[in-house]
Amino acid sequence: MNAIALLPMLKRIIKQGFRVRVVFKRLPKPFEIFHSYIIDVLNQMRLILYPEKDFLEADDEMMLEIAQRYGSMIVTNDAFRNHEKYKEIATNNTIKYKKERNPKFSLDALQSRLIFENRINILATEDKVYCYPNSPDYQKVKISHDNFWPATKNDMKAIDSLCDYVYYSICYQMGLKIPRNIKFMDDSENIPHKYDDFCVLNKIQF
């Protein structure tokens, strides 16, 4: 798994004001994931949830249980066919997404900002995304706000710093010009800093 894939969707959804959590079956081992520092930061932000018990499809059950209890929506292409008792939740509380090529991507665009070759489109109607007072799950969603806090300014700063680090790493690897306002390496170094050192060098605190 490449943890970079989480960033654009998380940043977009969080900035829109939604309360977001990512569910993993367990903490990935370093050799199982690329850019594991992203997972470390998301864990510090407490945006990743892990099941208390480790069994087959424990992560699926955790997502379905949360959706049932709090009226939350699960962004997934999984149909959850192995979970018959959650059949209604799997139908009503899931939102599918589609990966497609980003028509705005180009090397020229990448030179000026972080942009990805592919993008994720969330396939949902307004009634799936927003919960109104007349929605069946309105009371559940209200209760969820006592258990799932919104992103703070520091959380957004952390997400932005991750995006900056990913962007300037890509620029370095592709030989693109790195904007002068970001200190990416000392003059005596020929490899990029680790993320923690990058934050220190650029005086990023959150």
Domain residue spans of the chain? 3-148
- The per-residue pLDDT string of the chain (206 residues; one tens digit each, 9 = 90 and over) reads 899 999 999 999 999 999 999 999 999 888 899 999 999 999 999 999 999 988 889 999 999 999 999 999 999 999 999 999 999 999 999 999 999 999 999 999 998 899 999 999 999 988 889 999 999 999 999 999 999 999 998 899 999 999 999 998 898 888 888 877 777 777 677 777 889 888 888 888 77
If you ran DSSP here, which 8-state letter would residue 179 be given? Answer: P
89 CB-contact burial (10 Å; exposed 0-12 / middle 13-18 / buried 19+)? buried
pLDDT of residue 93: 96
Residue 143: which residues within 8 A CB-CB, separation 6 or more?
A: 70
pLDDT of residue 173: 87
Query: pTM of the prediction?
Result: 0.89
Q: Are 24 and 48 in contact (CB under 8 A)?
A: yes
Domain boundaries 3-148, CATH class: alpha beta
pLDDT of residue 100: 95
Q: Are 180 and 187 in contact (CB under 8 A)?
A: no
